[in-house]
Structure formats: structure tokens, C-alpha cells
């Protein structure tokens, strides 16, 4: 996420008959002297430029609810200064568990209508009814998009375009289309319920790839912090670990990191299978069991998997 990406979005996706909005989350830290602080924006843009989202689980603390900031009304030019500041803040938040800048949106609808749609998107079906999830948060939105079937565009309308930062360190742009409606299943809610663990795994993954590890043949080495679809991949790792029988968060993250850094089929090796079984049956920390293996041992395990034709 760079200022150039946001500027391009504002130039190419923001049309003359639409308004341009910035979505901020006060639950994330923001210094009082920050130009993007809600109170500062209220002073510089006027109170009418700020629209609070009525988040149902925060009705008694409206100051904690997200805020939709009108950067430019139809026909007006947005502030390049605020666009750059918001892009830089999004960049700064790449390694944080909660993001202050949730995205940039364009729409011909009013801020009130757009804010209502952002909340409506969060009402998802569960096995026993409906629950609310703040899917406007970038990570949750990324997970929500990952559940869409091929060709589905999502129920974003009346949002025309929605640019948001992704967990990889890049960005994604959603396109809204009138008359589009998607029926989510309880599976979608199950994924949202795991957003906290996904966030923890992503944080551990980012930290791991930044370390000078002596042996990590499968580690990500691309231009971004993590590979594309990082959030979806993290959830798949969590799902797989639970299918294997792991329940403790630390064990799940430990196995996931070794699969992501060493070999995706590491769990199929006999030695690793024994360690996983011990962690499940005896409660021994998987990290402790794995620490008993040195780089030479891991190299042997990966080599044996490769020779056996296991998928990397």
C-alpha cells in the first residue's frame, strides 16, 4: 500500500458524480496530534464530513464506532494531503493487529446510506440465527471476500469501488454492482469467528519471515510482507491443524509456521506425526517438541518428503 496506489484509485476509480470516502476505526490507536485523528478531521473538514457507523455491539460507546469521512463530494477534488497521509498510515499499520485506516470508498450514495450498508454487510447467518461481525475491518473483509465463489462480486452496492489494505502488505479493490446479492452460509460466520487467531498467525508469520533463519526453504521472499491471499492461507492452516486434532492456539500457530516456512506437507512425515500425536495426547507443547530438532534434522525431514514426492 503506497500513496501512489491511493492517488491512482482517487484519480481513476473516483468518478465526477460520486463522493469519495475514507473509513477510519477509532478502536485502533491514533495520537491526538495526528492530522487523521477524528477530532482533528472534524475541525479541518467540518462536522458534516464525518458520519459515524452505528455498530450494533458498540451502541453504548459511539465514540468507539468507525467513522466514514467524506474526503470529496461529487465534482470536488479530494485533498492530496489527506490521501497521502491515509496511505502512509495504512502502510504503517501493516504489522499491527488492528488498522486505523480501513479503506477508501466511492459512491453516489450519501454517507449515511454507505455507512448503513457497511454495517448491514456484517450481519451474517450462523447455525442458530444471525450474528454481527465488523467485516469492514480489512482482515475480516479479506476473509469475507475469500468465501465468495468464482465470479461473485459481493453485495457491496451502493459502494462503487472499495480499496482496502490486505494482510500481505498490498491492496485489493472491490467493485460494487447494482442488483448484486450474495447469500452467505454459516461457514462464513465460522471463518469470521476465527479472525483473531488468523490475525495472530499472520503476525507470527510476518515476524518469522523477517528473521535471518538459517533453514527455511519455503519462506516467502516476494516484494510484499506476505504472499497474496495470506489471510485465506492462514485460515486454511488453522483449519488443517484442527482437523489433525490440535486445539491449543500456540500449537496451531507452531505447526502452521513450520508448514509455511519449511514444507507444506511437513505434518505427513513420520517424525512430525509422532510429535503432533504427543502434543495432542500428552499436552506437551509442540514448540518444545520441535525445538528438539536442529536445522540438520529439519533438512533431512524436508529432503525425505521431497524424495517421496510430497507437494511442497
Tens-digit pLDDT profile for residues 12-58? 877 778 999 999 999 999 999 999 999 999 999 999 999 999 999 99
Alpha carbon 161 to chain centroid distance?
A: 18
The reply to whether 269 and 120 lie within a common domain is no
305 and 195 in a single domain? The answer is: yes
Domain span including residue 22: 3-184
Centre a 10 Å sphere on the Cβ of residue 18 and count the other Cβ atoms it contains: 21
How many structural domains is the chain composed of? 2
Statement to judge: residues 179 and 162 lie in one domain: yes
Handedness of CA 196, 200, 205, 210 (dihedral sign): positive
Distance from C-alpha of 292 to C-alpha of 306, rounded to nearest angstrom: 22
Same domain, 198 and 137: no
Q: Among 154, 184, 214, which residue terminates a domain?
A: 184
What's the pLDDT score for residue 308? 83
Same domain? 195 vs 234: yes
Residue for cell digits 471463518? 191
Specify whether 122 is located in the same domain as 265.
no
Based on the domain organization, do 163 and 206 belong to the same domain?
Answer: no
In the prediction, which pLDDT does 72 show?
A: 93
118 and 223 co-located in one domain: no
Q: Report CA-CA distances (Å) from 78 to 5, 12, 40, 45, 115.
A: 15, 13, 17, 11, 19
Q: Are residues 159 and 23 in the same domain?
A: yes
Q: Which of 157, 184, 211 is the last residue of a domain?
A: 184
pLDDT at 273: 96
pLDDT for 165 equals 96
For 240-274, how does the pLDDT look when each residue is reduced to its tens digit (9 = 90+)? 999 999 999 999 999 999 999 999 999 999 999 99
The whole-number pLDDT of residue 32 equals 92
Chosen domain end from 118, 153, 184 = 184
> What is the mean pLDDT, run by run of 10 residues, along the chain of 312 residues?
88 82 96 95 96 93 95 90 95 93 96 96 92 96 91 86 96 90 88 96 96 92 94 97 97 98 96 96 95 94 89 70
CB 19 within 8 A of CB 72: yes
Residues 20, 129: one domain? yes
Provide the pLDDT for residue 147. Answer: 92
> Based on the domain organization, do 38 and 136 belong to the same domain?
yes
57 and 139 assigned to the same domain: yes
Dist. CA 229–CA 147, nearest whole Å: 12
pTM, full prediction: 0.93
Pairing of strands 50-52, 19-24: unpaired
How far apart CA 208 and CA 201 sit, in angstroms, is: 10
Amino acid at each position: 500500500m503506497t500513496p501512489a496506489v491511493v492517488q491512482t484509485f482517487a484519480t481513476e476509480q473516483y468518478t465526477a458524480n460520486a463522493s469519495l470516502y475514507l473509513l477510519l476505526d477509532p478502536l485502533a490507536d491514533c495520537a491526538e496530534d495526528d492530522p487523521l485523528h477524528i477530532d482533528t478531521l472534524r475541525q479541518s473538514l467540518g462536522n458534516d464530513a464525518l458520519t459515524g457507523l452505528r455498530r450494533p455491539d458498540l451502541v453504548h460507546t459511539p465514540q468507539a464506532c468507525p467513522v466514514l469521512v467524506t474526503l470529496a463530494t461529487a465534482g470536488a477534488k479530494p485533498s492530496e494531503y489527506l490521501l497521502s497521509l491515509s496511505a502512509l498510515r495504512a502502510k504503517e499499520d501493516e504489522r499491527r493487529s488492528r488498522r486505523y485506516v480501513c479503506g477508501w470508498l466511492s459512491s453516489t450514495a450519501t454517507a449515511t446510506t454507505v455507512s448503513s450498508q457497511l454495517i448491514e454487510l456484517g450481519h451474517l447467518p450462523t447455525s442458530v440465527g444471525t450474528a454481527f461481525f465488523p467485516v469492514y475491518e480489512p482482515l475480516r473483509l479479506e476473509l469475507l471476500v475469500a468465501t465468495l465463489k468464482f465470479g461473485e462480486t459481493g453485495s457491496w452496492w451502493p459502494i462503487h469501488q472499495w480499496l482496502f489494505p490486505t494482510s500481505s502488505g498490498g491492496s485489493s479493490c472491490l467493485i460494487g454492482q447494482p442488483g448484486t446479492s450474495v447469500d452467505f452460509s454459516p461457514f462464513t460466520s465460522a471463518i469470521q469467528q476465527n479472525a483473531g487467531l488468523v490475525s495472530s498467525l499472520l503476525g507470527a508469520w510476518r515476524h518469522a519471515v523477517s528473521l535471518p533463519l538459517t533453514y527455511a526453504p519455503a519462506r516467502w521472499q516476494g516484494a510484499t510482507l506476505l504472499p497474496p491471499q495470506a489471510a485465506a492461507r492462514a485460515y486454511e492452516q488453522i483449519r488443517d491443524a484442527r482437523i489433525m486434532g490440535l486445539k491449543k492456539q500456540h500449537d496451531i500457530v507452531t505447526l502452521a509456521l513450520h508448514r509455511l516456512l519449511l514444507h507444506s506437507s511437513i505434518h505427513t512425515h513420520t517424525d512430525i506425526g509422532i510429535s503432533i500425536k504427543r502434543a495432542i495426547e500428552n499436552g506437551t507443547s509442540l514448540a518444545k517438541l520441535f525445538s528438539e530438532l536442529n536445522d540438520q534434522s529439519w533438512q533431512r525431514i524436508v529432503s525425505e518428503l521431497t524424495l517421496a514426492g510430497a507437494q511442497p
